[in-house]
Homo-oligomer: A and B are copies of this chain.
Amino acid sequence: MSELEKVLAEVLEKIVPPPEEEERVAEEVGRALDALGKALEELSIEAVAEVEGSFAKGTWLSGDVDVDVFLLFDPSVGVEEMRGKSLSAAKRAAEKLGVGWTERYASHPYLTLKLSSCDMDVVPAYRVSDPSRIKSPVDRTPFHTQYVKRRLGERPELKNEVRLLKRFAKGVGIYGAEIRVEGFSGYLLELLAIHCGSFLGVLRAAASWRPYGVVIDIEKHYSDRRQVLERFEDPLVVVDPVDPRRNVASPVSLENLSKFVAAARAFLREPSTRFFFPVAPKPRRLEEVLRGRAVAAVKLQVPPMPEDVLWGQARRALKALSSGLERLSFKILGSSAWAEGSELVLLFELETLELPPLEKHRGPPVYSKHDERFVSQYLKGECIAGPYVDGDKWVVIRPRRLRKTSEALAKLLRTYNVGEHITKCAREGFVICTGEEVLGISASESFRRHLYEWLIRRPPWLWNDDAEAWEKQSEGSA
């Protein structure tokens, strides 16, 4: 048995659900479906309950199952009517089962029932005749389930290949199409496994992918690659087998595609279970890791909103503040966001927290009609050298107005548009910390873990690599 085979066998042992787990979940899902069916009948709701997602396809990971049940309505039913009926039916079913539930929101509001072995989302959607007639993205899901079930039915051994791929993507930290992650959805990974024929087939293909040039069109909807690349300007393009207008990989960011490529190459060179189950980094004190780094943090109080909205806003704010800081001459080494409850923390690492005292400030060209105003302003005002002619422009060297990162961030938050929601939150107040103070900006343990992983900034499969040497080096630099 090769090292590679040993690694894959060890991982499969952990991720393939044993028969008793499968039976237990199946039984519970069966009971819940019965309850749902009765609820629909009692409430005279014309809808069909259908299991979708990884449980339906048989690609879920042991100990990690979420069951999606769709209530499929006729397209003639109004949206509000469908939403109301779906929530009523789900609540009635929860009552019958005697389980708790929470209400959530994606395309529509939906209920999550807390079954004993798993969570079950009860989601409303329209049953349409063809994916080109969908009314909202969820309506496409039944077609995805159907397609994958058919393909995996032809080659059942692919199910475990999908499981390996999902666990690999989780281990590398790129699993999930939500905006917080910008990674690979389960459906995308299923398609990759179907296309490449195996887990290793996908990794071997990925090892030579170059972003913005990768096209996978399983059902050959397009006649050639170029046609696809003209239509979709994404780092990775996987044409949806059930809907040629859609790139299943459109949520995948350049960085996450690159992380997948990097991990695939590293795994093929040296297979290890670390890629699937990262070993936690050898703990170093957060204070020590932060020392010598020029980090600034902004904390905002955010109202409740759907996660995708929050993370869309958080990313937009990171981008706007970074470009604002750069316009003020700060150099950004990295940025990241963390959120929990009503707390949102935006993190920035800079080259320095305080810029040099003087700056070169460019004025108008010498032949501009604004020349006189510029020259006389600086002859009278604050100016260390000049006004002088540099190239064809008037220029001065003057004291820099905003030298400290904290002052610059505060100014940007007060005056900049950093996205609709966050701008509104910022107008109501914010906290800015820099240097070692950043540690105190949130008491949450999850914040400390996020800060730590962001500071060491290694892919999880490298977390424990050469930790000894690394620790020694960090002591030296402390």
Contacts and interface: CB of A to CB of B under 8 A. Distances in A.
A386 to B, nearest CB: 5
A293 B384 contact: yes
Nearest to A209: B367
The number of times this chain is found in the oligomer is: 2
A235 to B, nearest CB: 8
A372 B268 CA distance: 12
Interface residues of A, number: 67
Contact of A386 (B265, B457, B469): B457
Contacts of A389: 255, 258-259, 262, 459
B371 A265 contact: yes
A283 interface: no
B380 A469 contact: yes
Interface string A379-407: 11111111111111110010100000000
A366 B207 CA distance: 9
A76 interface: no
Chain A, interface SS category: mixed
A208 B367 contact: yes
A356 interface: yes
Given A333-B397, A372-B269, A456 B385 contact: yes
A62 to B, nearest CB: 29
A352 interface: yes
A398 B393 CA distance: 37
Given A352-B356, A366-B265, A372-B269, A459 B388 contact: yes
A433 interface: no
Contacts of A387: 458, 462
Contacts of A331: 360
A210 B477 contact: no
A333 to B, nearest CB: 5
A411 to B, nearest CB: 20
A292 interface: yes
Interface string A251-271: 000110111011001100100
A254 B292 CA distance: 44
A52 to B, nearest CB: 33
A106 interface: no
A359 interface: yes
A385 to B, nearest CB: 4
A375 B367 CA distance: 52
A473 B383 contact: yes
A351 interface: yes
Given A356-B352, A383-B473, A391 B254 contact: yes
Given A333-B360, A358-B292, A380-B466, A392 B254 contact: yes
A371 B262 contact: yes
B388 A457 contact: yes
Interface of A: 207-211, 235, 254-255, 257-259, 261-262, 265-266, 269, 292-294, 331, 333-334, 349, 351-352, 356-360, 365-367, 371-372, 375, 379-394, 397, 399, 455-459, 462, 465-466, 469-470, 473-474, 477
Given A254-B392, A380-B466, A388-B459, 5 more contacts: A258-B393, A293-B385, A331-B360, A333-B358, A383-B473
